[in-house]
Structure 1
Amino acid sequence: MRRDDAPVRDGRRPARPGHARVLTAMMIVLLAVYTGGLLLGDQETFDPLLDGWLCILTELSAVALCISAAVRTRFAQRQVLLAAGAVIAYAAGDAYYAASLHGEVALSYASWADVGYFAFYPFMLGAVAVVVVRKLKDLIWPLMLDSIVGALAAASLMALVLAPVLRIGSSGGTTFEAVIAVAYPLLDLLLITAVGGVLASRGLDIGPRWPLLVSGLIVFSAADVAYALGMQEYAVGSVIDAGWVAGIAAIAAWTDGAASTGRGSRHRSRGIPELAAPLVSTASALAVLVIGCQLRIPLLAVVFAASTLALAAVPLAFRNRMLVTLARTDELTGLPNRRALLTDVPERLGTGQPGALFLLDLDRFKHVNDALGHDVGDALLVQVGRRFRRQLRPQDMLARLGGDEFAVFLQGVTEQDAVATARRLGAALSDPVQVGTAALQAGASIGIALTPQQGTDMSLLMRKADIAMFRAKSARTGHHVYDATDDDDGELRLRTVQELRIALAEDQFEMHYQPKVRLGDREVTGVEALVRWNHPTRGQLPPTAFLSLAEEAGLMPALSSLVLRRAVRRVARWRAAGLDISVAVNMSGSCILPGLPHEILALLEQFDVPPSCLMLEITEDVLMSTPTGTADILAAVRAAGIQIAIDDFGTGYSSLAYLRDLPVDELKLDRSFIIAMGDDDRAHGLVGSIIDLAHSLGLRVVAEGVDDERTAEELRARGCDFGQGFHLAVPLPAREVGPWLGGHTVGAGRG
C-alpha cells in the first residue's frame, strides 16, 4: 500500500460536530490496532483480516472523516474537497491492490492500483495551491520556484539514496517497476517541499494541525523509500504498510481540522523561517555535487543537483526585482517615491523636450492628522493620490515625496498645458473625500517650474517649484507658475520656515504681554499674550515677520500650543503673587481643532488656573470660513468657562447673524477704525454704532490702537469698555509685567 499527503487551509464552520469526533476516534483506534498487529504479528504469513481488511477499514474511516469535513463546509471549500479526493483516490488504490492479491503476499507488477496512488499527488498539490492562489496571488511564481528548487534538491538526494534501485532497473527487466518505485519518494518530497514553502511564506496559513500533517508526510516518505530499497522482498503485512496508512490518517485529521477552522479566523501557523527552505535546498544540492566529486554517483543525482543550483538563482532575481520596486515605491499610496522621481525625471530632462515639474502640498493636512488620527490621514492621502492619477496622462509621472507632498512631471507640454493640468488637479479635490464616516474637504497648493525655460537641473527645478508652491499657498490661488521675481524673497522665506522648525525645537520664543485697561476707571483687567522670536542672527522678530510663514508651513498649531502653555503658566505665577488678572491668547483657524477644549482644560488643571482667567481671541474671517465646526468647538470651550473674543472686528466678512449665534463674549475693534476717528466723522459714528450694537447683544468692546489721550476720552464717551494701545501700555516682557502691574490698579473680574 502507498502514498502520502500535503497541506492547505481555508475558512470553515467554527464548531466541530460530534460525529466528526467519533470518526476521528474510530480512525485512531483502528490505526493503533492495525499498527500493533503488524508489529506483534507474524510478518512472514499473510493474514487477510489483519493485513488486508483492517488496513482497508482504517483507510475507509479516514475517507469518512474527509467526507464529513466536506459536508460540514457544504462542499464550498476547495482545499477540503481536494484533500478528500486525495484520500479517496489513495484508499481506492489500496482497495484494488488488496482485491488483486488472490492469496499472494504482494503484486510483482505495476497495476491499476498505481493509478489511485499517483492520483493522490495532484489532488494534494491542488489543495496546497488553493491556499497560495487565494492568499498570495502576486507571489505564486516565486513560491512555485522555491518549491521546485526544493523538490529538485530532494530529488538529487533521493537519487543518491536510491542508486541501487536505479541500477536494478538499468541492468534487468524491471525498469518500469523501478521507475514507479522511485517516482513515489520523489513525489513525496515534492509534497513536503510544497508544504515547507507554504509554512515559510508570510500570509499563508495551512491550519492548526500542520505539525501532524508534516509528520505524516515524513513517515509516508520514509515508507516509500523503504519500499523502493526493498521492493524485491516486500510483502503485504510488513511494517512499511503502517507508514502509508498513518500518512493517510494524518491527512484526514488535518483535513478535518481545516474544515473546523472558522472563516474569519486570524490563526497564523508559521512553522519554519522564511529562508530556511531555499537555504536547505541549495546546501543539499551542493552536498550531492561534492560527494559526486569523490565517489561515483548516478548521473540523475548530478543533473538534479545542478538544476537545483541553476533554478535557485531565479528566485533571487525575483527578490532583487521586488527589492528594487519597493525601494522606488511609496509604501502607503503605491505611487513612485522621491527616489524614483529623482532617478527618472533627470533622464527625461535630458531629451530636451519642454516639460513642467509640479510640487503639490495639501492644505491643512496636519489638522486632519491631529483631529482624526493618522489612520484617517493615511486613507485621505491614498484617495487623493488616486484622484490625481485620474487627471494625468499615462506617460505623466506622479510621485509622493513624503508627508502630504506630491510631485508631478509632465513631458512635452507648454505653460498653458501645465496650468490647465494644475487646474484639473485642483478641481479633482473640489468634492469632499469620504474616509469612513468622515467627509473631508481637501485642497492643494501647486507650484510649477517649467523646463527648459527655468533650467534642466533637477535640484534647481525642485527649488523653483518649491518657491512657487509657497507663493500659491500664501496667495491662496491654488497654483502658481515660477517667475524670476519670486526669487526676491523666496530663498529667505524657505530658509525662515526651516529656521522656524528649529526655533520650535530649541524654544527660541519669548512672550510679551500688553495690558488691557478699563477706560472708565483705568484699571487693568487683563493682558494679551504676544509672541516674539529671538532669532539667533536677525535679533528679536515681531509676529508679523513669521506668523504667516508658520501658518503656511503648518507650524501654527505647535506654536499656538507653546504660547498657550506659556500664558497659562505665567497667569499661575501672577496669581501666586496676588495678582488676579486674565490673559488673552490669539488662536488662528488652523488651531481650532476638536481636541482644543481638552488641551486647554488639561493646562488649566495642571497649573491650577480658573477658566475665567483665560480668553481666546479669534479673527472673524476664521469664524466665517468654517462656521459650524468652529462654533461647536468654541461652544465647548466657552461652556467650560473660558472667554471668547472676536479680534480685528470689522476687517473681515462681518455678519450680524454670527454675532448673534456664536459663543462670543467680547469684540475687539481693529485699530484702523480707531486711527480714522481723529479726522473722519463717519469713522467716529461707525465706531459708536458698533459699540451700541455690541452692547445690545450683551458683548463687551475693546478698542485697539489707543495711542493718545484724546482717543481714549472719545472712546470712553462713546461707551467703549476697554482699550489697548501704546498710550495705555506697551507690550512688556513677562518679567516686567509684575512690577508694572504693581504700580497700577488691577481690577478683579472678567475682561
Structure 2
Amino acid sequence: MRADTRKAGRTGRDTMGRTDASRVLAIGTVVVLLVYIVAVLFGDMARVDLFGAWLGIVAELAAVAVCVGAVLRTRWSQWQILLGGAAVAVYTAGDLSYLLALDGEESLAAVSLADAAYFVFYPLMLGALAMTLRKLKGVAWPVLLDSLVGALAAASLMTLILAPVLRSGAAGGTPFEVVVAVVYPLLDLLLITAVGGLLTSRGLDLGPRWPLLIAGLILFSAADVAYALGMQDYAVGSIIDVGWIVGVVGIALWIDGVARAGTASRHHDRALPALTTLMASTTAAVAVLIIGCQVPIPLLAQILAALTLLLTAAPLVFRNRMLRILATTDELTGLPNRRGLVADLPRRVGGDRVGALLFMDLDRFKDVNDALGHDVGDALLVQVSERFARQVDAGALFARLGGDEFALFLDGATREEALTAARRLEAALDQPIQVGTASLKVSVSIGIALTPDNGTDVTLLMRKADIAMFRAKSDRSGHHVYSSMDDDGGARKLRTLQELRVALAEAQFEVHYQPKVRLTDDAVSSVEALIRWNHPLLGQLPPASFLPLAEEAGLMPAISALVLEEAVAQVDRWRTEGLVISVAVNLSGSCIQEGLPRQIRLLLEERDIPPECLVLEITEDMLMRNPADAARILARLRAKGIQISIDDFGTGYSSLAYLRDLPADELKLDRSFITAMRTDRRAHGLVGSIVDLAHSLDLRVVAEGVDNEATRAELRALGCDLAQGFHFARPLPAADVAPWIRAHTPAVPEDDTLVAQRI
C-alpha cells in the first residue's frame, strides 16, 4: 500500500514537472515569436543571411518542441495531438529545407523539395481534425457536408481573387509553379472551413485555445494568397514569412491547449451558431455568381459557386437527422437519454413479449458532487456508465435518465435473468473508481419491473421500476423486483418526495421555537427550533413525518441550509429587537462536508452575527459513521467560536474514547432517558452518571422531553444544566418567542448560553 502511494506520488510529481516545463516552453516560444516579428517589422531583412531569417526557424523549432511536450504529456494516446504535432514538425522541416537550399539567393526560382513537406502538412492537419470529428459517433456527415460546402464556396471566391494570376499564366514562373502557388490558399481554406464545421457542431469542443487554431489557419491563408499574387517579388524575410511562422506557432499552442484540457470530446457551450458556415458559404457563392453576371470571371469560379448552392440543401437534411439524434442522446455519456428511452421502449414492449426494465440509482452520489464538485461527479458518471455498458449484452437498451439515474431494458429476460443482470451491474462497482487523485467507492440501487407481468404500458412500467428502485434504496438491499405489495407504500413515498421538492422550491417550510430553561435559576437562556412543513393539503406536518424520507432522497443538505439561513436571520431580527440569544442547527451526517465551515462563516458574516450565537447539533450515530473526518471538520468550526452539541446522546453505541476526542461543548440527553427516570431507578442513576461524566469533560448537559415538575426537580438535583419540554412551553412561532420570554424571564446572555435548533 505504501509502495503504491510512493509510486503515485512520484507519478504526480513527474506529471507536474512535465506540465511546468511545457508551460515554460510555450511561453518561451511566444517570446521568440515576438522577437522575430519585431525584427521583421523594424529590421533590415533584405539579406538572406540576416539573423532574423534563422530566428523564424528557431520559433518554429520551439513550436515543434511544444508539440512534442503535448505528445509526451498525453503519453502518445491521442491521435489528434500526434497528427497535429506531426503537421507542425513536417512544415518546420520544409522551411528548414527551403532556407538551406537558398545558397545565397533571396528565393528559390522553382518548386523545391520543401513543397513536398508543405503539401504533407495539409493531410496531417485534416487527419487531426478527423480524429476530433470521429467522436461525434454517427452524426459526422452534417459536419463533413458543412465543411465541403464551405470549401467549395471558399474555392470559388479564391479562384475569383486569384484570377489575375491564372490569366497571366506563369506570372513570372512556370504554369506548374502557378498551379502550386494557387493550390496552397485553397488547401488553407479547406482547413478553415473544416474547423468552422466542427465549431458549428454542438457535440464537440476543439479545446480552450481554438481561436489560436482559427487565427493560425487564417494567417496561413493570407500569406499563401499574398505569395500567389506576388511570387516574382517574394524574398525570404518578407512580411509574408511572418504569416506562415505565426500560423505554425498558433497551431502548436492550440495542440498544447488540447493536451492540457484532455480529450476534446465534450461540449462546453462554446459552439458557433449552427448555420454560420452555411450562411457564409451561401452568401459567398451568390456574390461570385452576381459578379460573374457583371464582369468576366473564370469559369471554374462559376462552377464552384453553383456546386456550393446545390449542396447547400444537403446539410439541412442531415442536420435534421443530427438534431433528432442529439435530442435523444445524453451529451455527457453518449447514451440514449430519457426521451430516447421513452421513444424506443414501445417497440420492445407489448402483447406477450417478455422483458425486464431496470432502473439504477447511485447511492449518495450527491455527496460526491457536494464534496468534490460537479466536474468530478461528471467524470464519475462517465466511468460508471462505461462499467455498466460492459455488462450489457448487445441489443439491450441502456440509457441515462439524468443525474445519477440509469435505465436498462432487457428483451426476452425472465425474472432470474433480470436478477442475474442486476448482480452483474452491482459487481461492476465493486472496485473503486479513480477520478483524478480521488479514489471513489460507489454502489447502486436497482429496481426491476417485468413485462408483461407488471404491465405493458411504458409509463406504468417505468413507474413500477422506479418504485422498486426506491424500495431497494430504502432497504439497502442492492436490488428489488417490483411486487404489488410495493405499490401503495412506494407510490406514496414517490408522491411525498415530489411534494418535498416542490416544498423546497415554494418555501413551504416554517421554523417554530421551543424555549429552554436554565435549571439553576429557571431563566430562559435559549430556545430550540423545530422545522414544520405547511403542506397545502395535509396542513402543518412535524419533522418526523418527512425528514427520514428527505434523508433517504438526499434532500437533507438543502433542508439544513434552509433552516440554517432562517435561524441565523431570526437571531439577527431578535438582536435588533434587543433580545440576545443563540441558535444551533442540527445537521445530518450528509451535511458535514469540507465546504461546511466556509458556508457557515459566510452566513454569519453576511448578518454580522458573532459565532458564539451558533451551535451545531449532530446526532451521535451520525458522528460515529466517520468519526475521524467528522472530528476534523467540527474542530475547524469550533476553532472559529461555533459551539458543537452531541444530540440524542446515549441512544448509540459509541466508545467513550470518541466522546473524549470529539470537539464538543454539550451533550443532549435523549428523551427516552428522561421519561423513564421517575419509574426506573437504573435510568435515574444512568442520567446522574452521564451528567457527572459530562461535567468532568467540561461539557454542558441538556435534558429533552421534560413534561412535569417532578422530572424538572430531579434533573436540577442531579446537576443538569438545561431542560426543555412541554412542562415549560410548546414550540412557538417566531413572532411569539420574544413576548413569551419577556413574560416569563429575561434572557441572560452568558458564555454558556445555547439555542438548539432541531431540524
TM over 0.5: yes
1:470 correspondence with 2:470: yes
User: What are the superposed Cα offsets for residues 346-372 of structure 1, whole Å, 9 maximum, x if unpaired?
Assistant: 332248543332333333333433343
1:79 correspondence with 2:82: no
Query: Could you tell me which residue of structure 1 aligns to residue 422 of structure 2?
Result: 422
Evaluate the alpha carbon distance shift between residue 94 and residue 472 of structure 1 in structure 2; reply closer, same or farther with a 3 A threshold: same
1:375 correspondence with 2:375: yes
SS at match of 1:349: coil
Query: Could you tell me which residue of structure 1 aligns to residue 189 of structure 2?
Result: 193
SS at match of 2:616: strand
Q: 1:128 aligns with which of 112, 122, 127?
A: 122
User: What are the superposed Cα offsets for residues 191-227 of structure 1, whole Å, 9 maximum, x if unpaired?
Assistant: 353254256464454586656543343345456xxxx
Query: Could you tell me which residue of structure 2 aligns to residue 458 of structure 1?
Result: 458
Evaluate the alpha carbon distance shift between residue 72 and residue 498 of structure 1 in structure 2; reply closer, same or farther with a 3 A threshold: closer
Query: Could you tell me which residue of structure 2 aligns to residue 618 of structure 1?
Result: 618
Write the letter of the residue equivalent to 1:134: A
1:16 correspondence with 2:23: no
TM-aligned CA deviation for residue 539 of structure 1: 1.0
Contact persistence 1:207–1:258 (CA under 8 A): no
Query: Could you tell me which residue of structure 1 aligns to residue 7 of structure 2?
Result: none
1:526 correspondence with 2:526: yes
Looking at structure 2, the residues matched to 353 and 473 of structure 1 have their Cα atoms a distance apart, in angstroms, of 28
Evaluate the alpha carbon distance shift between residue 198 and residue 723 of structure 1 in structure 2; reply closer, same or farther with a 3 A threshold: same
TM-aligned CA deviation for residue 624 of structure 1: 0.8
Looking at structure 1, the residues matched to 273 and 550 of structure 2 have their Cα atoms a distance apart, in angstroms, of 49
* Alignment RMSD (CA, Å): 4.9
Equivalent runs, 1:602-681 vs 2, <5 Å: 602-681=602-681
Looking at structure 2, the residues matched to 582 and 643 of structure 1 have their Cα atoms a distance apart, in angstroms, of 10
Contact persistence 2:40–2:239 (CA under 8 A): no
Query: Could you tell me which residue of structure 2 aligns to residue 408 of structure 1?
Result: 408
Contact persistence 1:329–1:336 (CA under 8 A): yes
Moved more, 544-553 or 610-619: 610-619
Looking at structure 1, the residues matched to 584 and 156 of structure 2 have their Cα atoms a distance apart, in angstroms, of 83
Looking at structure 1, the residues matched to 628 and 569 of structure 2 have their Cα atoms a distance apart, in angstroms, of 31
Looking at structure 2, the residues matched to 539 and 273 of structure 1 have their Cα atoms a distance apart, in angstroms, of 50
TM-aligned CA deviation for residue 278 of structure 1: 5.4
Query: Could you tell me which residue of structure 1 aligns to residue 245 of structure 2?
Result: 256
Write the letter of the residue equivalent to 1:133: G
TM-aligned CA deviation for residue 512 of structure 1: 1.7
Query: Could you tell me which residue of structure 2 aligns to residue 52 of structure 1?
Result: none
Equivalent runs, 1:310-329 vs 2, <5 Å: 319-329=319-329
TM-aligned CA deviation for residue 720 of structure 1: 3.6
Looking at structure 2, the residues matched to 131 and 569 of structure 1 have their Cα atoms a distance apart, in angstroms, of 60
TM-aligned CA deviation for residue 710 of structure 1: 3.5
Equivalent runs, 1:277-426 vs 2, <5 Å: 279=279, 308-309=308-309, 319-350=319-350, 353-426=353-426
Evaluate the alpha carbon distance shift between residue 621 and residue 410 of structure 1 in structure 2; reply closer, same or farther with a 3 A threshold: farther
TM-aligned CA deviation for residue 676 of structure 1: 3.3
Contact persistence 1:63–1:87 (CA under 8 A): no
Write the letter of the residue equivalent to 2:225: I
Query: Could you tell me which residue of structure 1 aligns to residue 437 of structure 2?
Result: 437
Looking at structure 2, the residues matched to 16 and 158 of structure 1 have their Cα atoms a distance apart, in angstroms, of 32
Query: Could you tell me which residue of structure 1 aligns to residue 725 of structure 2?
Result: 725
Looking at structure 2, the residues matched to 519 and 726 of structure 1 have their Cα atoms a distance apart, in angstroms, of 15
Query: Could you tell me which residue of structure 2 aligns to residue 51 of structure 1?
Result: none
User: What are the superposed Cα offsets for residues 671-709 of structure 1, whole Å, 9 maximum, x if unpaired?
Assistant: 223333444444444434433433443333333222233
Moved more, 309-318 or 368-377: 309-318
Q: Which structure 1 segments of 5+ residues have no match? A: 1-9, 32-56, 99-112, 170-176, 224-239
Looking at structure 1, the residues matched to 277 and 734 of structure 2 have their Cα atoms a distance apart, in angstroms, of 69
Contact persistence 1:355–1:452 (CA under 8 A): yes
Write the letter of the residue equivalent to 2:697: L
TM-aligned CA deviation for residue 341 of structure 1: 1.9
TM-aligned CA deviation for residue 487 of structure 1: 2.2
Evaluate the alpha carbon distance shift between residue 255 and residue 725 of structure 1 in structure 2; reply closer, same or farther with a 3 A threshold: same
TM-aligned CA deviation for residue 621 of structure 1: 0.9
TM-aligned CA deviation for residue 625 of structure 1: 0.9
Query: Could you tell me which residue of structure 2 aligns to residue 137 of structure 1?
Result: 131
TM-aligned CA deviation for residue 444 of structure 1: 3.4
Evaluate the alpha carbon distance shift between residue 503 and residue 296 of structure 1 in structure 2; reply closer, same or farther with a 3 A threshold: closer
Looking at structure 1, the residues matched to 518 and 368 of structure 2 have their Cα atoms a distance apart, in angstroms, of 40
TM-aligned CA deviation for residue 265 of structure 1: 6.2
TM-aligned CA deviation for residue 626 of structure 1: 1.8
1:215 correspondence with 2:222: yes
Query: Could you tell me which residue of structure 2 aligns to residue 229 of structure 1?
Result: none
Write the letter of the residue equivalent to 1:257: V
Evaluate the alpha carbon distance shift between residue 251 and residue 621 of structure 1 in structure 2; reply closer, same or farther with a 3 A threshold: same
Contact persistence 2:706–2:727 (CA under 8 A): yes
SS at match of 1:16: helix
Moved more, 249-258 or 523-532: 249-258
Query: Could you tell me which residue of structure 1 aligns to residue 509 of structure 2?
Result: 509
Looking at structure 2, the residues matched to 303 and 609 of structure 1 have their Cα atoms a distance apart, in angstroms, of 76
Evaluate the alpha carbon distance shift between residue 673 and residue 421 of structure 1 in structure 2; reply closer, same or farther with a 3 A threshold: farther
- What TM-score, normalized by structure 1, do the two folds share? 0.74
Contact persistence 1:14–1:261 (CA under 8 A): no
TM-aligned CA deviation for residue 84 of structure 1: 5.8
Looking at structure 2, the residues matched to 470 and 643 of structure 1 have their Cα atoms a distance apart, in angstroms, of 37
User: What are the superposed Cα offsets for residues 226-277 of structure 1, whole Å, 9 maximum, x if unpaired?
Assistant: xxxxxxxxxxxxxx733xx369966644443356569556899x9x999676
Contact persistence 1:149–1:278 (CA under 8 A): yes
Looking at structure 2, the residues matched to 265 and 188 of structure 1 have their Cα atoms a distance apart, in angstroms, of 22
SS at match of 1:407: strand
SS at match of 2:513: strand
Evaluate the alpha carbon distance shift between residue 247 and residue 620 of structure 1 in structure 2; reply closer, same or farther with a 3 A threshold: same
Equivalent runs, 1:36-55 vs 2, <5 Å: none
Looking at structure 2, the residues matched to 467 and 417 of structure 1 have their Cα atoms a distance apart, in angstroms, of 20
Query: Could you tell me which residue of structure 1 aligns to residue 260 of structure 2?
Result: none
User: What are the superposed Cα offsets for residues 18-37 of structure 1, whole Å, 9 maximum, x if unpaired?
Assistant: 99789968997549xxxxxx
User: What are the superposed Cα offsets for residues 57-85 of structure 1, whole Å, 9 maximum, x if unpaired?
Assistant: 89x99997886666666797643554467
Query: Could you tell me which residue of structure 2 aligns to residue 42 of structure 1?
Result: none
SS at match of 2:617: strand
TM-aligned CA deviation for residue 421 of structure 1: 3.4
Contact persistence 1:13–1:259 (CA under 8 A): no
Contact persistence 1:128–1:194 (CA under 8 A): no
TM-aligned CA deviation for residue 542 of structure 1: 0.8
TM-aligned CA deviation for residue 89 of structure 1: 9.2
Evaluate the alpha carbon distance shift between residue 145 and residue 571 of structure 1 in structure 2; reply closer, same or farther with a 3 A threshold: closer
Query: Could you tell me which residue of structure 2 aligns to residue 241 of structure 1?
Result: 232
Write the letter of the residue equivalent to 1:735: A
Contact persistence 1:353–1:412 (CA under 8 A): yes
**Percent of matched pairs sharing the same residue:** 54
Query: Could you tell me which residue of structure 2 aligns to residue 593 of structure 1?
Result: 593
Q: Which structure 2 segments of 5+ residues have no match? A: 1-24, 69-84, 135-139, 200-205, 258-269, 754-759
Query: Could you tell me which residue of structure 2 aligns to residue 551 of structure 1?
Result: 551
SS at match of 2:744: coil
Write the letter of the residue equivalent to 1:132: L
SS at match of 2:450: strand
Query: Could you tell me which residue of structure 2 aligns to residue 104 of structure 1?
Result: none
Looking at structure 1, the residues matched to 386 and 273 of structure 2 have their Cα atoms a distance apart, in angstroms, of 36
Looking at structure 2, the residues matched to 604 and 191 of structure 1 have their Cα atoms a distance apart, in angstroms, of 62
Looking at structure 1, the residues matched to 619 and 346 of structure 2 have their Cα atoms a distance apart, in angstroms, of 46
SS at match of 2:336: coil
Equivalent runs, 1:96-175 vs 2, <5 Å: 116=111, 123-139=117-133, 149=149
Evaluate the alpha carbon distance shift between residue 300 and residue 671 of structure 1 in structure 2; reply closer, same or farther with a 3 A threshold: closer
